[in-house]
Structures are given as structure tokens and as C-alpha cells.
Homo-oligomer: A and B are copies of this chain.
């Protein structure tokens, strides 16, 4: 999998250079806000979502830089969601990626605003036609709409709401499915879509890629739930056993640990089937799918 490691590295580099140029402070009164936004954006992380945008785009075109604004926007949405999820009123996590979480480093009000600023920044980036001006306006609008749907109350925000309000309630398969589909899978599916729509892929291709994205997204969250039980804080860079302690609705809670592992494999298998039409052009996407189940952090 050397190839895939390099691909992740290249994609991360591209998106980080772009974000470094985007996240500029414009006033002496907002230096702290800018610092807080940059702190979480540049705190490391796998850059899975941007990498998926590039991999999906790469099925059709090789001028990867065109799709960088979309890759950057989705990473910024992901980062905002982590900042808000960690807040004391939400999951109350004081560690993230091996460092103090945003509100621990900057204060609670500052963290709320850093999150708000990043979410808004994503749409600023997506609608800024000076970035990749060759992307047609109607394609850009489709991408913005999909990102808003994936991130909003019928997507990620809805999933997070179901997650925090599930604590202490009876865990059902329907609830866990809803949380995973919306809290995590929606944005991963969206990443795959952004690459495909930017490359102006055909409808049938996009449909298959969306189904691929949805299934690897579900697998990703199942593995996350499993790692919360089997891994350590040192490896994950965040506190473990949090889900169990807060009696959260997770896959292991519903299916047992072994059952959850089988479920992750099942999702990956389903995902792979949707890549058949692309033949060996989809090797990178297949490697990313394997990485998702085999990762240890």
C-alpha cells in the first residue's frame, strides 16, 4: 500500500497549502479567532475527506488542482464539526489529535466562533469563483447544495443531534443506523460526490460512486466505534471508552464487537461492488476503502 500512503501525503499537502492561503487574518481584533481556526485545521488528521475528493476526481481527470477548493471546503466543514462536538455541552472532550481540544486551548466562546467561522468559510471557498474559475457555475452550485445537505440538519448536524440525545436511551439498530449514516457517512459520501461532479462524471457513474461513498462512510464509523473500545488514547490522540461510559448508541453496543467487525467488512464489500464499472481505474479508491477497515487510529 505504499502507493496509497503517497497519495494521502500528496493530497494532504495540496489541501494544506491551499488552506494556509485561505485562512488569513484581516484585523487586529480577530487575531485570536484566526489562530483558533488555524489551530484545529492544522492539528494533523488523516485528511480522508479531501483525499476522497481527489481520488474520485482522479477517476476521470488528472488535473487534480482544479478540485482543491472543494477538497479544502469539506475538510474545513469536518474540522468545524470536531470543534463543536468536543465542546463541554456536547461530548466534552479535552483531547483531540493528541492536543488540547479547541475550547481547552482558546476558551469556549472562542471555540464556538472558530467553528462557526470555519463552517461559513467552507461556503465562502466553494462560491469563490477566483478559485478554479474553469469549474462551471452550475456544477459549483450542485456541489454547494450537496455539501450543505450533507452537513446540515438532514445530514451531519442531524446525526450529531441524534447522537447526543441518544445517551442513556435504549439503543436500537434504527437509531445507530441513523447516527452513522448522517453523522459520518453523509460527509464522506459528499466528498466522493464533489470529486465526481467537479469532473463532470455521468449520472450512472455518480450514482455508483455515491453508493460506494455511503458504504465506506458507514464502515468508517463502525471502525471508529470499535477503536473507541480496542485502542488506546496514545494511538488515537483522543480519549477512549467514551462511548461506553456515556452509554452511546454504537455498533458494538448493538451487535457486539465481533458483530460490528463483520458489519464493517460487509459495508466494505458492498462498497467495492460499486467500483466494478471503473475497473482498474478505481484502484486508489479500493486502497482507501481497505485502509478504512485496516487502520488502527
Contact = CB atoms under 8 A, between A and B. Distances in A.
A129 interface: yes
Interface stretch (A113-121, A190-198, A212-220, A275-283): A113-121
A153 B119 contact: no
B165 A32 contact: yes
Given A29-B175, A112-B89, A120 B153 contact: yes
A158 B33 contact: yes
Interface in A162-204: 162, 164-166, 175, 178-179
A108 interface: yes
A40 interface: no
A211 interface: no
A275 to B, nearest CB: 29
A11 interface: no
B117 A145 contact: no
Interface string A25-58: 0110110111001000000000000000000000
Please classify the interface of chain A as helix (H, G, I), strand (E, B), loop, or mixed, using the class held by over half of its residues: helix
B109 A30 contact: no
A157 B29 contact: no
A148 to B, nearest CB: 4
Contacts of A138: 129, 137
Contacts of A126: 144
A94 interface: no
A108 B128 CA distance: 33
Contacts of A117: 152-153, 157-158, 161
A124 B109 contact: no
Interface in A240-262: none
Nearest to A175: B29
A129 B178 CA distance: 27
Contact of A30 (B87, B90, B140, B161): B161
A247 B171 CA distance: 47
| The 7 residue pairs across chains A and B that have the minimum distance between CB atoms | A137-B137, A120-B152, A124-B148, A89-B108, A117-B153, A29-B162, A127-B145
Given A33-B157, A90-B109, A136-B137, 4 more contacts: A26-B158, A29-B175, A33-B158, A87-B109
Interface of A: 26-27, 29-30, 32-34, 37, 84, 87, 89-90, 107-110, 112-113, 115-117, 119-121, 123-124, 126-129, 136-138, 140-141, 144-145, 147-149, 151-154, 157-158, 160-162, 164-166, 175, 178-179
